[in-house]
Structure 1
Amino acid sequence: MNVLNGEIILKKLDLTKQDKEVVEQALTYWRDHAMLDEQKVEELKRSIDEKGFEWKILARYAFWVALVSLVFSVLSLFADDALVRFVERFYETPNIVFCLFFAGLAIVFYMLGFRNKKKYPANTFSNETMMLAGSFSTAACIGFLGQVLDRSTSQYTFLFLLSIFVYAVLSVKLNSKLIWVFTLVALGVWFATETGYHSNWGFKFWGMNYPLRFTLFGLLLTAFSIWGQPKVQVLQPFQPTSYVVGLLYSMIALWCLSIFGNYSSFDAWTQVRQYHILYWGVLATALSLGLALYGMKMKDTISRDIGFVFFILNLYTRFVEYLWDNINRTVFFLLLAVSFWFVGRWAEKVWSNDQTSRS
């Protein structure tokens, strides 16, 4: 909304060509049936405009391609003989030098990102790209610092705890949800290394292997995002992100648990038949279905979509586990086709409900 010479000028509503045609048809229909007068219809038509080229989407993809190209350029470095010989000169360089180098690089990226965010707040993608580069540099710095320390010492896990603090402070200071994702990933890495250290890097900690540990870890993170995070003012903007990441931690770990069970080694798992751990599969399928139904009932699209995806994933995992070697291939794929038809119908129904609720 703008004010010009005392008059309020509304910003035009940008619509795609198809949406603009639909709105104009609706306005014409209402005019023809005397629901709107001609003057009002013309006024409303002038308030909409056809959306131009999606520069925002182009910018997003361009920055993604830039990051991917950067990764490939680093990989290509090791495929070039001349460059390999050049890099080999650094093999004898102490890890602490690389640690300090990436620390300095991270500071530069964060400073540029913070400055650009204040100076050009509308340049979302370029600013986030700077933050992402800074986050990767921070991870590289901590990684090289870990090479300096012995993995058998408690300082090794302390590094990941330090990275959580660094990422969390940066997330709040820079108001970056992207860096907050790195915070939660670092939290998961710290949890894995800390429990691994206390179990002498074995599979079991307090009788739990990694999938079972991360199932509980994800549930705790989800619970914190729902009941604890809203009470901390500086963390409130990141609550939806924590909710999504917490659910993903839980559901991915639970899906892995339904396949591998709570066994302490890969060899122990290969010695048992899959039906011996059927209860984990039933639990994973039931919880994912419950999450999907809860999301549909409470209009929570996040839990609905995550629950639906993992319900299907668990269902087809069980389908392959117990039927692939036990029934005719023709019958197998016929059942697969029929089941996917039902999945498509369910998805279509959910989509239709979404469209109805929005209209």
Structure 2
Amino acid sequence: MRKLQVNQQEQQLLNDAITHWVAEELIDPETAGKIRSNIAVKGFDWQRLAQYSFWIALSCVVLAFLSIFVDKGIMRWVESLYETPDLLISAFCWVLAILFYYLGFRHKKYHPDKSFSNEAMMALGVFATATAVGYMGEVLGTKSGNYSLLFLTSIIIYAVLAVKLGSNLIWIFMLLALGIWFATETAHQSNWGFSFWGMNYPLRFTLFGVLVTALALFGQTRVKILLPFQTVSYVVGLCYLLISLWLLSIFGNYSDFQIWSSVKQWHLIGWGILSTSAALAMTIYGFKKQDLFAREFGMVFVVINVYTRYFEYFWDTMNRAIFFAILAISFFMVGRQAEKIWRGIEKK
């Protein structure tokens, strides 16, 4: 029989739970012994190593690409390829993308347990697709400067591939591309200004985050093929929403940096209250509805908002020693309260 592999902390938790169940006569000692014998402590977290290794590998691919523009020898080689038609480069990248998607899908089919290597293949396919779409834009011409059509193309491609290949990673890239498309399209419509319909970028993306979150909660649940990506969309939507609200609390709805720099921070207190209230409301909602994501994101951004206001209002007016002393005390109190809550849950 295959044993359950856990770390030492998890083993201690399971042992405490089994001891409690025996004491409460929920299970007999013999069953408890069988359960304990089926638990084994894993010596090394190979899963985490695999995850980090694949992400580092992907990062190295990106760094290798960026290094091309630093290395003089490679630059000379790249310059010799300037006469290569954009159409040929785009076609080559499409072939690479198809190859990576095929390998990723095939590997996922035969090795579904190797999720990290599967997603790494998909990620390489995503990068190749983005490059192919970019060069395709050069072929078609973007003299008007409207690159949003290219991003819209990549969104459609990523969405179709995510559904066909069942890849959460590609769906995440689709949502990121959707955000970039939204930014470029609104910028293009405003003649590349920072204000669109009287809204700067943080305010625009606040509404965008609300829309993505709402569609995840109420739209995707009704479409069967999109249901597997509902959680991912919900999390990304919350990120868009809460990060945008936080930026809005800092910059307000100002579209000019010079004007914003001359404004006293207390003039933006309304946006700060809005951002903090939204995070607090999300935290309360998460606790009431047992929504882990709303609760955790809400709590994190409540803390971020509170400390952001602290830095904004007291960094220039308070003695540094007192400033950091208060900061230390506040974190100590937060940690102490968190420990009390944790101990209370543990006793239950």
Using the size of structure 2 for normalisation, the TM-score is 0.90
Moved more, 97-106 or 161-170: 97-106
Which whole-Å CA distance do the structure 2 matches of 1:142 and 1:30 have between them? 59
- 1:336 matched to 2:327? The reply is yes
Match of 2:234 in 1: 243
Which whole-Å CA distance do the structure 2 matches of 1:239 and 1:347 have between them? 31
- 1:255 matched to 2:242? The reply is no
| Aligned residue pair count | 347
- 1:132 matched to 2:123? The reply is yes
Which whole-Å CA distance do the structure 2 matches of 1:307 and 1:38 have between them? 42
- 1:152 matched to 2:140? The reply is no
* Per-residue deviation, 1:136: 1.1
Moved more, 207-216 or 334-343: 334-343
Amino acid across the alignment from 1:179? I
The answer to whether the Cα contact below 8 Å between 1:291 and 1:303 also exists between their aligned partners in 2 is yes
* Per-residue deviation, 1:356: 6.3
SS across alignment from 1:173:
helix
Which whole-Å CA distance do the structure 1 matches of 2:81 and 2:343 have between them? 59
SS across alignment from 1:53:
coil
Amino acid across the alignment from 2:258? D
Query: Is there any run of 5+ residues in structure 1 with no aligned partner, and where?
Result: 1-9
User: Which among 301, 304, 324 is matched to residue 310 of structure 1?
Assistant: 301
Moved more, 52-61 or 226-235: 52-61
Moved more, 335-344 or 123-132: 335-344
- 1:269 matched to 2:260? The reply is yes
User: Which among 162, 168, 176 is matched to residue 177 of structure 1?
Assistant: 168
| Offset from partner CA, 1:147-170 (integer Å, 9 cap, x none) | 44225265x322211111111111
SS across alignment from 2:40:
strand
Match of 1:6 in 2: none
* Per-residue deviation, 1:301: 1.6
SS across alignment from 1:152:
coil
Match of 1:282 in 2: 273
User: Which among 265, 289, 301 is matched to residue 298 of structure 1?
Assistant: 289
Match of 2:71 in 1: 80
Which whole-Å CA distance do the structure 1 matches of 2:97 and 2:242 have between them? 33
Amino acid across the alignment from 1:251? L
Which whole-Å CA distance do the structure 2 matches of 1:134 and 1:120 have between them? 18
* Per-residue deviation, 1:353: 6.1
Query: Is there any run of 5+ residues in structure 2 with no aligned partner, and where?
Result: none
User: Which among 170, 174, 192 is matched to residue 201 of structure 1?
Assistant: 192
* Per-residue deviation, 1:55: 2.4
The answer to whether the Cα contact below 8 Å between 1:296 and 1:304 also exists between their aligned partners in 2 is yes
Moved more, 278-287 or 66-75: 66-75
Alignment of 1:27-46 (within 5 A): 39-46=30-37
Identity %: 50
Alignment of 1:104-123 (within 5 A): 104-123=95-114
SS across alignment from 1:14:
strand
Amino acid across the alignment from 2:205? F
The answer to whether the Cα contact below 8 Å between 1:290 and 1:307 also exists between their aligned partners in 2 is yes
Q: Which has the larger radius of gyration?
A: 1
| Offset from partner CA, 1:121-166 (integer Å, 9 cap, x none) | 2221111110000011111222233344225265x32221111111
Change (3 A) 1:252 1:354: farther
The answer to whether the Cα contact below 8 Å between 1:152 and 1:197 also exists between their aligned partners in 2 is no
CA RMSD of aligned residues (A): 2.7
Amino acid across the alignment from 1:223? A
Change (3 A) 1:354 1:306: farther
Which whole-Å CA distance do the structure 2 matches of 1:262 and 1:32 have between them? 60
Moved more, 161-170 or 22-31: 22-31
Amino acid across the alignment from 1:328? N
The answer to whether the Cα contact below 8 Å between 1:167 and 1:182 also exists between their aligned partners in 2 is yes
SS across alignment from 2:232:
helix
Match of 2:58 in 1: 67
SS across alignment from 1:200:
coil
Change (3 A) 1:352 1:39: closer
Amino acid across the alignment from 1:84? M
* Per-residue deviation, 1:42: 4.1
* Per-residue deviation, 1:77: 3.5
Match of 1:4 in 2: none
* Per-residue deviation, 1:13: 2.6
* Per-residue deviation, 1:275: 1.6
Match of 1:233 in 2: 224
SS across alignment from 2:5:
strand
Moved more, 133-142 or 98-107: 98-107
- 1:142 matched to 2:138? The reply is no
SS across alignment from 1:71:
helix
